[in-house]
Amino acid sequence: MSAPSAATDALGGLKVAAQRRLEDARKGKTRFTVQVGHCSQSVGATQIALSLAEALPPNSYLTIAGCDGACHNAPQVVVTDPMGGQRLYVGVTTENFRDVFEESKGLVPGDSPFLNNQHRVVLQGCGDLEATDVDEYLAGGGYEGLARALSGSPEEVIEEVKASGLRGRGGAYFPVALKWQGARAIDTGPRYLVVNCEEGEPGLFKDRHIMEGLPHRLLEGAIIAAYAAGTGEAYFYINAEAKLSASRMETAVEQAYEQGLLGKDILGSGFDLEVKIMMGAGGYVCGEETTLLNTMEGDRREPRLRPPFPTEAGLWARPTVINNAETLSSVPYIMQNGAAAFAEVGTEADKGTKIMSLSGSVRYPGLAEVPMGTTLRQIIFDIGGGPAEGHELTAIAVGGPSSGIFPTSMLDTPIKPGFLHESGVMLGAGGIIALDERVGILETVRRLAAYNSDESCGKCTPCREGTPRMVELLDKLAEGKATANDINDMRQLAEVVNAASLCGLGQAAGNPILSALHFFGDELAMMAK
């Protein structure tokens, strides 16, 4: 990368001003931080924040952060004294919220195996930084990656990200720098950047945590990507139900414009970028990038034929880079610390970290960021604490409805991009649902298959007709009416749907059935006549 430039000087000025404002407003005061995310809202975090705001003692102030990922502890309040000492209060309610004023009832942060067994790159500071305060982000080193990017050429940025080994984190794991390079290579007319924050599948909640807890980190990554790809317009496409995520991203965008981090001549670099927020059209299939583009243009939520790929002809038939929220949130770290720092995390083949949404029968459900190559056992037991008390782990659903189910004999499987097993189980966007003896394999497969059937857009025949037929065969098996031939038909149908469908939803819709038949075939066969 090139030597520091006007961009770094401009950012330095913003950082000094931010630090001065923070010091003037907060020096010598006790900080009360309430973690408010979509998870903690459901158990009263917003009400706790309102109650605390009315009851704060003198010489103190309240901040609102996102959830740090320890959703099992929500609502959480962190109290930081003027000397930097901290106390953590978990499971706070509107009845006991005044306990946060008593030191003896607080915990020492940092003793949690849930957090200590993670390696945080993207999520660093989540739950600590005030979500909608650009000053805190700037004072903590925010936008330094952007300034470094703008100090060099777009080609240098692409090479840096290429050297890091960063691949997309939305499920396809395509090399990020190649997307940017491909769009930039088409050098006539406008280009666009679309940040895919649809995240509509069950068991996934990582992108929402990023938008709610670290909106400026995601925005910084998007600006860097736009600079590298040569785009002047960027769109954040956010799930229509993720209203808190959208609100915090909108605030971050407004603040970035005010600070000269968006708009004309960003940080004095000569680079211009306009950013808009769009709400998704609803539906799992909208996460598929060409379906997303159709809805942005006002068309039906259906996928397009490929080629051409979006980097050649995407939004309004112009070159378009589509990156996932987690993907872009990795970019500031790379630009600030260098490609080697990112590449040394993970494995030789698969670089960096992956954010995993952990739920189901575990003691500590929540969001975990771990190096590529971490095993399912480490995530479920070392971070998640193992199965819920009094229950036994029987299976693991990995990767959502587009993936499949593992038996416990596969716990030592390391996470990596793409398929984790030839039966169809893949990492996908990074969801893990631990199952115990209370949930049967057939019931689980049926739910996943039914979800895929319900979410099919209906455009292509294999998916439209095949997915409901698979559900019918599973129902027949559950009712004890299926034969061995029905099980064979179900296997063949799953293979055909996967092979002949138009988009990623249909091309993976058979995976839950194929993986279940591979690992639990004897159990399912016993249910047939």
pLDDT tens digits along 318-354: 999 999 999 999 999 999 999 999 999 999 999 999 9
Same domain for 211 and 174? yes
Same domain for 196 and 219? yes
Same domain for 194 and 304? yes
Q: Is there a domain that residue 434 lies in?
A: yes
Q: What is the pLDDT of residue 1?
A: 61
Q: What is the pLDDT of residue 4?
A: 58
Residue ending a domain, among 405, 439, 473, is 439
Same domain for 313 and 367? no
Same domain for 339 and 211? yes
Residue ending a domain, among 282, 312, 343, is 343
Ranges of the chain whose pLDDT falls below 70:
1-4
Instruction: Give, as one character, the DSSP assignment of residue 350.
Output: S
The whole-angstrom separation of Cα 77 and Cα 105 is: 12
Q: Is there a domain that residue 13 lies in?
A: no
- Which strands sit side by side in the sheet containing 192-197, from one edge to the other? 274-279, 233-238, 192-197, 320-324
**Per-residue pLDDT tens over the stretch 131-150:** 999 999 999 999 999 999 99
**Cis peptide bond upstream of 308, omega within 30:** yes
Q: Is 82 helix (H, G, I), strand (E, B) or coil?
A: coil
**Per-residue pLDDT tens over the stretch 11-50:** 999 999 999 999 999 999 999 999 999 999 999 999 999 9
Residue type, 359: S
Q: What is the pLDDT of residue 282?
A: 80
- Domain of residue 502, CATH code: 1.20.1440.230
Q: Is there a domain that residue 427 lies in?
A: yes
Q: Is there a domain that residue 412 lies in?
A: yes
Q: What is the pLDDT of residue 2?
A: 54
Beta-carbon contacts of residue 96 (< 8 Å; ≥ 6 apart): none
Sign of CA dihedral 144, 147, 152, 154: positive
Q: Is 358 helix (H, G, I), strand (E, B) or coil?
A: strand
- Domain of residue 74, CATH code: 3.40.30.10
For tokens 């000053």, name the residue.
Answer: 135
Same domain for 426 and 316? no
Look up the domain containing 38 and give its range. 26-110
Same domain for 373 and 448? no
Do the beta carbons of residue 328 and residue 195 sit within 8 Å?
Answer: yes
Length reported for the chain = 529
Beta-carbon contacts of residue 439 (< 8 Å; ≥ 6 apart): 361, 394
The whole-angstrom separation of Cα 510 and Cα 249 is: 36
Beta-carbon contacts of residue 104 (< 8 Å; ≥ 6 apart): none
Q: What is the reported pTM?
A: 0.97
For tokens 């993207």, name the residue.
Answer: 122
Q: Is there a domain that residue 58 lies in?
A: yes
- Domain of residue 284, CATH code: 3.40.50.11540
DSSP code per residue over 410-443: GTTPBP-SSBSSTTS-B-TTTEEEEEETTS-HHH
Same domain for 139 and 90? no
- Which strands sit side by side in the sheet containing 30-35, from one edge to the other? 60-65, 30-35, 77-80, 86-89
Same domain for 232 and 339? yes
**Per-residue pLDDT tens over the stretch 166-212:** 999 998 899 999 999 999 998 778 999 999 999 988 899 999 999 99
Q: What is the pLDDT of residue 200?
A: 87
Same domain for 459 and 417? no
Give the phi and the psi of residue 202 in degrees, each rounded to 5. Answer: -65, 145
Give the phi and the psi of residue 428 in degrees, each rounded to 5. Answer: 60, -145
Q: What is the pLDDT of residue 189?
A: 83
Same domain for 213 and 316? yes
Q: Name the maximum alpha-carbon separation found in the chain.
A: 76
Residue ending a domain, among 291, 314, 343, is 343
Same domain for 37 and 100? yes
Q: Is there a domain that residue 153 lies in?
A: yes
Total domains in the fold of the chain: 4
